[in-house]
Structure 1
C-alpha cells in the first residue's frame, strides 16, 4: 500500500515538473495575442520588460490622424515572428493573471522585447526591465518609429484610465 502511495506521489511530482507551467523554456510557433503577449502550445506568455499599446488603444500619427496603434503593434509583431520560427521563451515569473512572463527570442536569436521597443511598437517598461531597453527606446524615439511618429499615451496609463484607477506605471 505504501508503495502505491509513494509511486502516486512520484508520478504526480513528475507530471507537475513536466507541465508547461513549470518549464524553464517554452518553444514553438508563436501566436500573437496582442503587442506584448504571445501564446506557444497553449501557454500565454507576457513579454518581460516591455509594454505595448492595447488592442483598443488609439494613437495619433505625425499629422495628428488617429490610428489603432495597438492593432498595428500586434500585426507588426506577428509578421516579424513569422519570418524566423520557432520562438523560444525563457521563464522569468508568473504574473497576477497566471501568465508566464518571459524573455523571448526568435529562431535567429533576436530578442522579441528589444525588437518591439527598437521599432517603436512597445515602450521600455522600466518598472520591470530596469532600463534594459532604454537605448532601443531612445533610437525608436529619435527615428520616429511606430508609436513615436506622433502622440500616444503610455499603455499602462491608458489601462489605468480605462478602469478609472491611478496609473502607478
Structure 2
C-alpha cells in the first residue's frame, strides 16, 4: 500500500526523497514544466496539447475527430480534463509529431482507462498489452459510448 501511495505521489510530482528534495522523474524527454499542466487545447479523444507540445494518450485509440463518433470522444476527454491539471509520463514513443504518454487527470484518474471505460476509446493492445481491455469490455457489456450503437472495436 505504501509503495502504491509513493508511486502515485511520484507521478503527481508530490513525493520527496529522504533528503526532502522534490521527486522528479529522471531521464524524462519532457521538460518538467510540460509534464504537469493544464491542456491548452484538446484535438480529439486521444490527443491534446500543452502549449506547442502535442500529447498522444498511450494505450488506447479513440475515433478520429472527423468521424461519426469523433466529436463525442473529444467531448469525453474535455470532461475528463475540464481545464484542470493533467500529469503525463512520456513513454519515449512518438506518433505523428506527438509524444506518447500515460496521463492522469487532477483526480489521479488514468485518462486512457477512463476513455475505455466510457466506451469512447478502445484498448490498443499493440502498445498497452491489454492493460485497458477490461475497461473496454465493461463498456461493451454496459453498451456505453460507441458500443451503445452496436459498434465493434476498430482495433
TMscore range, shorter length: 0.7 to 0.9
Report the count of equivalent residues: 126
Give per-residue Cα distances to partners, 1:52-71, cap 9 Å, x unaligned. Answer: 0011112xxxxxxxxxx111
- Which position in structure 2 is the counterpart of 1:45? 55
Distance in 2 (CA, whole Å) between partners of 1:102 and 1:123 is 16
* Higher gyration radius (CA): 1
Which TM-score applies when normalising by structure 2?
0.74
Structure 1: give runs of 5+ residues left out of the alignment.
1-19, 59-68, 156-168
Instruction: For residues 120-162 of structure 1, give each alpha carbon's deviation from its aligned partner in whole angstroms, at most 9, with x where no partner exists.
Output: 010000011000001101110001000011133645xxxxxxx
Where in structure 1 do 4 or more consecutive aligned residues deviate above 4 Å?
Answer: none
Match of 1:35 among 41, 45, 58: 45
Map 1:80-159 to 2 at 5 A.
80-82=80-82, 85-152=84-151, 154-155=153-154
1:71 alignment partner in structure 2: 71
Contact 1:53 1:154 in 2 (8 A): no
What is the alpha-carbon root mean square deviation over aligned residues?
2.0
Bigger helix share: 1
Structure 2 unmatched ranges of 5 or more: 1-27
Does residue 23 (structure 1) correspond to residue 39 (structure 2)? The answer is: no
- What SS does the corresponding residue of 1:32 show, helix, strand or coil? strand
TM-score for the superposition, normalised by structure 1: 0.68
